[in-house]
Amino acid sequence: MNVEILQERLIQKLRDKGIKDERVLEAFRKVPRHLFVDSAMYMQAYEDNALPIGLGQTISQPYIVALMTQLLELEKDQNILEIGTGSGFQTAILAQFSRRVYTIERHQALGDRSRTRLRDMGYANVTFRIGDGTNGWPQWAPFDRIIVTAGAPVTPDTLSGQLAIDGIMVIPTGNRDEQELMVYKKAEDGLHSHSAGRVVFVPLIGQQGWKE
C-alpha cells in the first residue's frame, strides 16, 4: 500500500468536491487515516467513505471531515471544543491548526483508544475527557471554535453558551436519519446561522441530545 499515492488521490477528490483551504488539504497529508481504522480496512481508509470503528460509531467520510474543518475557519491561536472524539482522526486534523483541542467522548473504550493513539503519534495539544458532550466543558470555556461530530435534535444551549464572541460552531441538527450541517457565528447581538448542506451522522446521545 503506497500511502502517499492514496493520500494524493483522496486530496484530489476533496478538491473536486470544493475543499479549497490548502491548510486543510495539507493536514490530510500529515495525518495517515489508515492508522485510525482496523487493519482489515487499511485499503479502504483512503476512499471517501465513512467506516465503522465499533460500538455503533464511525470514522466520518473524509469530505465531511474536510468540510467541517474548512467551515471552522481555524487559526493557530484558537482553543477548540470537539464533541465526539470517535477514532481521533478529526481530532488529529484539528490539532494541526489550534493552540489546544478539548475533546469529549462518551464511550470509554473509544476515548481511551484515541487518547493512546494520538499520544503515541506525538500530539501534545489535545486534552481528553470521557462524558456527556452535550454539556460541553465549562472548565475551559469559552471556546473559539466548537465542532460536533454527531447529529443533534437541536443545538444544545450549553454549547452555544460556551462559544466565545466571534466564535464559530459547526453542528449537524435534525432527525436521526438526516441532518442539516449548521454553521453558527456568535456576535454581540447573538447567534447567526446558515446551513452548509444535508448530512447523515450517528445520533448525539446525551442530556441535551437524543436519549440512549
Angle, helices 3-16/62-71, rounded to nearest 10 degrees:
60
Decide if 160 is catalytic: no
CB 159, CB 146: distance < 8 Å: yes
Angle between helices 3-16 and 22-30 (to 10 degrees): 160
Does 97 have pLDDT greater than 90?
Answer: no
- Mean pLDDT of all residues in 132-149: 98
pLDDT exceeds cutoff 80 at 1 = no
Asked if pLDDT for residue 6 goes beyond 90, the answer is yes
pLDDT of residue 152: 98
CA distances in angstroms from 57 to 7, 31, 158, listed in the order given: 23, 20, 24
Query: Which letter, b or e, does each residue of 193-211 get, where b requires 16 or more Cβ atoms within 10 Å of its Cβ?
Result: eeeeeebebbbbbbebbbe
Write the class of the CATH domain 3-199. alpha beta
Q: What is the mean pLDDT of residues 78-101?
A: 97
Active-site position among 60, 87, 98, 114: 60
Other CB atoms within 10 A of residue 185 CB: 15
Task: Give the model's pLDDT for residue 136.
Answer: 98
Q: What is the pLDDT of residue 126?
A: 98
Note whether 69 and 27 are within 8 A (CB): yes
Q: Give residue 212's pLDDT.
A: 85
Three-state DSSP state, 117: helix
Three cell numbers written together for 53: 470503528
183 close to 204: Cβ distance less than 8 angstroms: no
